[in-house]
Amino acid sequence: MGIWAAVMEEMMQSMGGSAGAAKGIKLYHRGKADPLGGDALLLKLGLCYTCCEYEDCIITDDAFAAVKNSGQFSKMCTLPCVTSADGCEMHKPYSVLRYLCTTMKGKKGECLYPAAADTTIHWRIENCVELLSGDLSAKIAGMAKPGPMKDQNFINFIAKELPDLLECLEKMLTE
């Protein structure tokens, strides 16, 4: 297991959620031959932080297309996606993350997304989401792909780029 996978696995385990004994929630994603699936990383972290049990479903693009053609998923569905026990299909990672954070509590019982209850905090969260959905999301997805420089790229990101990003996020949340 590479450094990237080991760090992320430890991070998710420490949050309390689990992929396994699901209560009707399934997370479908490509996996990219990586056990943590870079394209679904934010959703996995959100599910784990809310201590939500879910079934981790890695699916190839060809298999996903076949399942969509069979009618199991809507024609508009994209990966990653989450399905609930009642059959609700949710895709687009940041929309799903907002849903999870609005409907579930954090591991300490805290509200993760106040929405209309506090419009200033709502704006700050949205501002952070915009920052995270750009280059950071692309970098995370890129680091999940196998390759000879994968571990070194992860080390460089953690050591050089992540501290600057976290400082920027902290300023956005506290100013």
Token code pair at residue 64: 């996903």
Per-residue confidence (pLDDT) for residue 103, from 0 to 100? 85
Both tokens of 70, joined, read 């069979």
pLDDT single digits (tens) 150-175: 788 788 888 888 888 888 877 876 77
Residue 137 belongs to domain spanning: 3-174
Q: How far apart are CA 62 and CA 73, in angstroms?
A: 14
**Residue 55 pLDDT class (50, 70, 90 cuts):** very high
Question: Tokens 């569905």 sit at which residue?
Answer: 77
Counting Cα atoms < 13 Å in the Cβ hemisphere of 86 gives: 1
Indicate the number of domains in the chain.
Answer: 1
Q: Residue 119's CB: how many other CB atoms inside 10 A?
A: 10
> Residue 107's domain is classified under what CATH number?
3.40.30.10
Residue 123 structure tokens: 């704006």
Residue 20 confidence (pLDDT) above 50 = no
Handedness of CA 55, 5, 153, 172 (dihedral sign): positive
State the virtual CA torsion across 86, 45, 38, 149 in degrees, nearest 10. Answer: -170
Model confidence over 68-123: pLDDT tens digits? Answer: 999 999 989 988 899 988 889 998 888 888 888 888 888 888 888 877 788 888 88
Two tokens at 93? 């990672």
Kind and range of the H or E run holding 52: none
Distance CA 99, CA 102 (A): 5
CA distance 7 to 21: 22
Torsion angle (degrees, nearest 10) of CA 120, 104, 158, 145? -120
- 59 by DSSP, 3-state: which? coil
Place of tokens 């509200």: 111
